[in-house]
Amino acid sequence: MGDDWDADIEVGEGPAGGFPAVLVLTPPAEIGPSIRLPIEGVCDRPELAELAALDAFAAMTRGT
């Protein structure tokens, strides 16, 4: 991912409880719109959902 990309994490509250996370990758405008990657599963607390998204992002950078 180049320096002109942006990454963010959105954590919401699920309808049945729990907190799902979405990793949002935003490329430069000439490439296209943001890419939203839902993180599998839900967590008991929003902080844990954010950490799950960070873990998924780290795994993406390792290529695994």
What is the reported pTM? 0.80
Q: Which domain holds residue 32?
A: 6-62
pLDDT of residue 53: 93
Please state the rounded mean pLDDT for residues 21-50.
94
Q: Cα(57)–Cα(17) distance, rounded to whole angstroms?
A: 24
pLDDT at 10 over 80: yes
Provide the pLDDT for residue 25: 92
C-alpha span between 30 and 7 (Å, rounded): 17
The number of distinct structural domains making up the chain is 1
DSSP-derived secondary structure for 21-48: EEEEEE--TTT-S-EEEEPSS-BSSHHH
Residue 15 lies inside a defined structural domain of this protein: yes
Residue 46 φ/ψ, nearest 5 degrees: -60, -35
User: Does the residue 45 lie in any domain?
Assistant: yes
With 70 as the cut, is the pLDDT of residue 1 above it?
no
Taking a C-beta distance cutoff of 8 angstroms, is the pair 22, 43 a contact? no
Flag whether 1 is in a domain.
Answer: no
Average pLDDT, the chain: 90
